[in-house]
Amino acid sequence: MKIGVFDSGMGGLSVLNGLVNLFSDNEYIYVADNKYSPYGTKTDEELINRGLAIIKYFESVNTELIIIACNTMSVYLDILQKHTNIKVLGVIKPTVHYVSSLGVNEVGLIATYNTVRNKTYQNMLLDLGIKTDALNCSFLVEIVEGKSNESASLLLKENSKNNHFESLTHLILGCTHFNLLKEEIKEVLPNINLVDTTDGIINELIKMGLTKKEQVNLNPIKIYSTLDVENLQSLIKKYNLFINNKYEVNILDI
């Protein structure tokens, strides 16, 4: 199966990194939409239009499944799905399903401004009887993308003073960029369990019937940046992604 995956930048690559050698029979195409990064501060109209443009590209290369590896963009899943016959999978619903199996009545959530503002996580979880203690951590995206040299752990500690994460057992990483900062987050919250949205996607793919085959994926991963190929390549190496895989990074003008 040819699978298209996209995000505003590095975050979605952390999801892709968790999929390529777990569902290794598939071919993967990734779009890092750096030109419009960060998604977390864009308007609803901007995000929907951008999502539709990327989906149109994936249609042109005959992908059979599209994964929105971005929590902010996943808010608009239902709208985007109406514009394509290709199955589109977001990260929010699978993550909510996963959290509902944990037996908790409240969870922490760190996400971008838009994800927190839209309250999709909060409302879906509340419908299941689970409260949410949410915090906007858009500043962490800048650190992952190499646009800020500030300390992720210090910023998180300072900004979470009014939250009660220490009393909770689980924290949703409601932005896929945050998957790349797990060590820094654990420095601040050593006793909390981190919920990686990749786990929800894996469960959903299994439900869809994809064969779980753990081995090195021999298909070259096609990675595209809409802005800066060199910076994306350096960040892939910095975060030790796709160590055993062949991949190529090229520019995509959309």
Centre a 10 Å sphere on the Cβ of residue 229 and count the other Cβ atoms it contains: 18
Q: How far apart are CA 250 and CA 6, in angstroms?
A: 14
Catalytic residue among 70, 88, 96, 141: 70
Exposure string for 13-49, b = 16+ CB within 10 A, e = fewer: bbbbbbbbbbbbebbbbbbbbbebbbbbebeeeebbe
Active site residue 175: yes
Prior bond of 94 cis (ω within 30°): no
Cβ-Cβ contacts under 8 Å for 129 (sequence gap 6 or more): 105
For residue 196, which amino acid is it?
Answer: D
Structure tokens at 236: 């892939």
Question: 116: burial class by Cβ within 10 Å (0-12, 13-18, 19+)?
Answer: buried
C-beta of residue 198 within 8 angstroms of C-beta of residue 19: yes
Can you tell me the distance from the alpha carbon of 102 to that of 118, in angstroms, rounded to the nearest whole number? Answer: 24
Token code pair at residue 141: 């995206």
**Annotated active-site residue in 88, 175, 180, 201:** 175
Give phi and psi for 35, each to the nearest 5.
-60, -30
Decide if 137 is catalytic.
no
Question: 209 CB contacts (<8 Å, ≥6 apart)?
Answer: none
Phi, psi of 66 (to 5 degrees): -120, 130
Chain centroid offset of residue 252 CA: 20
Q: Catalytic residues, which ones? A: 70, 175
